[in-house]
Structure 1
Amino acid sequence: MTEGRRAAVLGHPIGHSRSPALHRAAYALLGEDIEYGSFDLVPDQLGDFVGRVRDEPGWCGLSVTMPLKSALVPHVDRLAGHAISLGALNTVVFDRSDGLALVGHNTDVAGIVEAFRHAGVERAVSPVVVGGGNTALAAVAAVSELGARSVRFLVRSPERAGESIGLAERLGLEVAIEAIGGGARSLAGADVAISTLPPRAADALGAELSGLSADDGGPRVLLDAAYDPWPSALAAAWTGRGGNVLHGLEMLVYQAVEQIVLFTGREDARTREVIDVMCDSVGLPRRTR
């Protein structure tokens, strides 16, 4: 066992992050001696931070959350996988196979796909993505992986959602764009919905959804990435209409699983036992299938 290995989550604010609990639970079960911490950083601090960790021994990986997913891209040596097409990362691996290279990955896509699959969703037919930021990029790639041929965006500003809309078009998805205000009827018709908005930002949409009659359609599965406070107003409205809600922490669990595989090379991090202890560490019911 290699000693002295380190990993951490970066973001601002960072005190609420559940990543340390998830990673530490997995490493304990796997018998991996990795110290996992957290750093509260804003984009202007990234240059100094990355320069420092390049020179420190033992680093194997970084988890990256808001507002750093795009800001960190210029500071890595190359991108891999979904990070290339999304232009945003949530993971940095310290690759020492030939010198040192910092490699950016995006495991948010896998986190969304696996959360839906563990809930029994194998295909997205009429998906709706609420929001247009960095998490929406991952949501678009995820619904594409789930076989969608189209996607409807509910956004506050189409201009600010340009990158997500552009990605959908590059992936060959037919795109529809609608304002969030007044968008509850479209949301109600979705078989798969992903809200990528920050906490409380979808409260008005939730209130609008609650006001629809049952004849307006029944939602199926919603993943709400905002998990604090919980349930969100949107999640409560969705459940009230008989829909299935996936806690945002489920996405966090499955994206962390893929980070752990990248940090350790351990494919068995994807096993039921590891996922179960990670769910336990953040108070989620065990949802393995």
Structure 2
Amino acid sequence: MSSVPYAEVIGDPIAQSKSPTIHKFWLEKLGLPGDYRARRVAADDLFDFFEQRRREPDWRGCNVTIPHKLSALDLSDRRDDLADSIGASNCIVRGDDGLLTATNTDSDGFAEPIAGMDFCGREVAVIGAGGAARAVLMSLARREVGFVRIHARDRVRAGELLEHFGLPGEPVPFDAPLASATTLLVNSSPLGMIGQPALEIDLGPLGEGAVVYDLVYNPLETLLLAEARRRGLCAIDGLGMLIGQAAIAFAEFFESPAPREHDAELRKLLTS
């Protein structure tokens, strides 16, 4: 049996990942030889995993999810400017020389569903201060938002992130009430994901026209988004970001643009 190029997504847990469905869908549409897999990798095994994979010429790289986005950056041989600026990596690409380059596709993926919205000078609230939050904050800095409140259990880390990205704002307790001036609320934490507690936050202070954006995509309709819709707010699920960031990674892994003209069909497949 001839070998084919392959990539994969790694994390712990990983069973919930929709990435294999996305990449295999695109490979099939393009008629490209290749495969995409999901692999559970514990934190203690991450170094050995990369050491093994770098010796496999058919391995093109991997997407990286919770909890490895910070460690993957440190274990790579090289990092591009974007990963370096964000301080986290969700995508590792293997070069022909076997060296691993860390990049980050989350920031551009996050921006895709809100590309037509203007948050310049506006107030934003971000839930969480982990690897996903870093990509979100990078995107917000590019949009020149006015003020960012990071709701986090580790307020010191949250403050460091604001400083790192040069964002005006303040760290607040995780359960602090939302400010009434908030125009965009982003959940970058895993709360609300299958197997995790729900994100409990009162959306009452948000005014008409506010946007609630949940990066969680499994389940697609989280309790947070359901409450946002009930209040008549704009609700954005995590599938748009997932597809957007995957498309950038796909081009790196398989050296071909993802066939985005099939997005509607792909979203239907992912939600069936």
Q: TM-score, normalised by structure 2?
A: 0.89
Query: Quick one: distance in 1 between partners of 2:238 and 2:108?
Result: 14
Query: Quick one: distance in 2 between partners of 1:167 and 1:179?
Result: 15
Q: Is 1:35 aligned to residue 35 of structure 2?
A: yes
Query: Quick one: distance in 2 between partners of 1:81 and 1:262?
Result: 16
Aligned partner of 2:249 in structure 1 is 259
Paired positions, count: 266
Shift of 1:77: 0.5
RMSD: 2.2
Query: Quick one: distance in 1 between partners of 2:262 and 2:69?
Result: 26
Query: Quick one: distance in 2 between partners of 1:26 and 1:39?
Result: 20
Q: Secondary structure at the match of 2:191?
A: coil
Tell me the alpha carbon deviations over residues 44-86 of structure 1, each in whole angstroms, 9 at most, x when there is no partner: 1112211111112211120111111112223210111321012
Contact 1:76 1:102 in 2 (8 A): yes
Aligned partner of 1:114 in structure 2 is 112
Tell me the alpha carbon deviations over residues 219-240 of structure 1, each in whole angstroms, 9 at most, x when there is no partner: 5222101233342222122222
Query: Quick one: distance in 2 between partners of 1:79 and 1:173?
Result: 23
The share of aligned pairs that are identical, in percent, is 28
Aligned partner of 1:150 in structure 2 is 147
Q: Which ranges in structure 2 are unaligned for 5 or more consecutive residues?
A: none
Equivalent AA in structure 2 for residue 95 of structure 1: G
Query: Quick one: distance in 2 between partners of 1:232 and 1:109?
Result: 22
Query: Quick one: distance in 2 between partners of 1:69 and 1:58?
Result: 23
Aligned partner of 1:218 in structure 2 is 208
Q: Secondary structure at the match of 2:271?
A: coil
Tell me the alpha carbon deviations over residues 134-166 of structure 1, each in whole angstroms, 9 at most, x when there is no partner: 11111101111223143121223303xx1x533
Contact 1:154 1:183 in 2 (8 A): no
Aligned partner of 2:181 in structure 1 is 189
Q: Is 1:276 aligned to residue 264 of structure 2?
A: yes
CA pair 166-115 structure 1, distance change in 2 beyond 3 A: same
Aligned partner of 2:69 in structure 1 is 69
Aligned partner of 2:221 in structure 1 is 231
Contact 1:149 1:172 in 2 (8 A): no
Equivalent AA in structure 1 for residue 143 of structure 2: L
Q: Which ranges in structure 1 are unaligned for 5 or more consecutive residues?
A: 285-289
Which 4+ runs in 1 deviate beyond 6 A? none
